[in-house]
Amino acid sequence: MSKLYDVIIIGAGPAGLAAGLYAARAKMSALIIEKDRNGGQIVTTDEVANYPGGVEEETGPSLIARMVAQTEEFGAERVKATVVDVNLEGDIKVVKCEEAEYQARAVIIATGASPRKLGCPGEQELTGKGVSYCATCDADFFTDFEVFAIGGGDTAVEEAMFLTKFARKVTLVHRRGELRAAKSIQEKAFKNEKIEIIWNSEVAEVKGDGMVESIVLRNRETGELTEHHAHEDDGTMGVFVFVGYIPQTGLFTDKIELDKAGYILTDVDMKTNVEGVYAAGDVRQKTLRQVVTAVADGAIAAVQAEKYIDNKFH
């Protein structure tokens, strides 16, 4: 018979790791399941300047490394596996992975969100060949090249500024006539001599033979198409896409209550509409998706799971 855990945590981003830390520290048997690398989106972040108490020159990977060490110190188990199905009904929850099946009294869903795609011709074919969704991962490849950054929110503008550390020119393309980013962030961008902004435009196509060679923009007011080619001395350029995220909740459709955008609905205690099931981090409906709110969600979810288990099973 397989081991019965107190709590299974699906996802090892900041929310999942914080949940594992709090669960294990409360002497619960906790298993963290992650299909990819630990840390989620934050490990692609070059600088974490706004995490309270963060060390000087904190990076996403350095912060996550300390979180992982803490979960191990308190005894949380971790396994790398892909969850293919879940049964969240009843007292014993079942999490099915490709090669094994795990059982627990409670489940915390911390599967996060993934970058939203543009959906234009050429995007998929040229992903990893000039099209990127992670400035920290790929900016270095475009040192002294020209790049386009697509989007107008906080992330898009912040990443555009980060790209100026490498690229000789960054063109920010936004589909509206004004940015959605915080005013303080906008001011920095407007002052950056390397940043040019193209307003009221969207990407119609990304072109290239084996690598990005041009980008076609459509003016949303006039419908006019403009093709921007890589400089002939460069031969290529970068297209960095920052247009939001999609919650990773496909596994939980029809099994848990989601909002119209696919985010999990919870109360302030991270409880979903299914008893013994909690959600934490970017995967749940919330107004601020940051590391600081993710770890708070994870801590709350673990504490509530502990109370649930104590009341129901002990």
Helix (H, G, I), strand (E, B) or coil at 282: helix
List phi, psi (to 5°) of 251: -65, -25
User: How many Å apart are CA 136 and CA 118, to the nearest integer?
Assistant: 20
The length of the chain is 314
Which residues are bridge partners to 228 per DSSP? 215
Calpha distance 16→279 (Å, rounded): 9
3-state secondary structure of 240: strand
Distance CA 275, CA 234 (A): 57
Q: Is 97 a catalytic residue?
A: no
CA angle, 210 then 213 then 217, to 5°: 125
Structure token pair of residue 232: 């002939």
Active-site residue 138, yes or no?
yes
Rounded distance, CA 98 to CA 31, Å?
16
Catalytic residue (one of 97, 134, 154, 234): 134
Catalytic residue, chosen from 36, 85, 91, 137, is: 137
Dist. CA 120–CA 225, nearest whole Å: 14
**236 is written with which tokens?**
């290529």
User: Alpha helices, DSSP H only, in the chain?
Assistant: 14-25, 60-74, 135-138, 154-163, 183-191, 291-313
The yes-or-no answer on residue 120 being catalytic is no
CB-neighbour burial class of residue 23 (10 A; exposed 0-12, middle 13-18, buried 19+): buried
Output phi, psi for 21, to 5 deg: -60, -50
Catalytic residues: 134, 137-138
